[in-house]
Amino acid sequence: MPALDRYHQDIEQIEQTLCSLASLYTTPGKQRTLMAFDREHGQFLLLDEGWDGYRRIHHVWAHVEVRDGKLWIHEDGTEEGIANLLVAAGISRDRIVLALDPSSLRDTGQFAIA
């Protein structure tokens, strides 16, 4: 499905850009920002991993799932917002679900309900 491939490419490109930006703010040797792409299962993650002394760092910045032809945003800790970046990449708002919001609030927004 060509639309599915485009979704995968757009998500990966956005997360690669965010990962490059995040590396400017990480402390070398303490933590790193990683991307995890699983096209087969439609899972795309951006996360920090490492140690700060005895404190473990494991933080998911972004989690996007491609499900039923839509992009489900499960986590978004970015400043610009993954949904806004996807719209700027040309993806229609009715293809984006803000899954991090309760379903009762989704019908009041500008994006898909489900």
Domains along the sequence of the chain with CATH:
2-106 (3.30.310.110)
Q: What is the pLDDT of residues 26-51, one digit of tens each?
A: 667 788 889 999 999 999 999 999 99
What pLDDT band is residue 64 in, cutting at 50, 70 and 90? very high
Q: What is the mean pLDDT of residues 46-64?
A: 92
Order the strands of the 96-97 sheet from edge to edge.
Answer: 31-38, 43-52, 55-67, 70-76, 96-97
CA-to-CA distance for 17 and 52, rounded, in angstroms? 25
Mean predicted lDDT score pLDDT of the chain: 88
**75/25: higher pLDDT:** 75
What pLDDT band is residue 2 in, cutting at 50, 70 and 90? low
Neighbours of 32 (CB within 10 A): 16
Neighbours of 61 (CB within 10 A): 20
SS3 label, residue 23: helix
Q: What is the pLDDT of residues 67-90, one digit of tens each?
A: 999 999 999 988 889 999 999 999
CA-to-CA distance for 101 and 92, rounded, in angstroms? 19
Residue 71 parent element (H or E)? strand 70-76
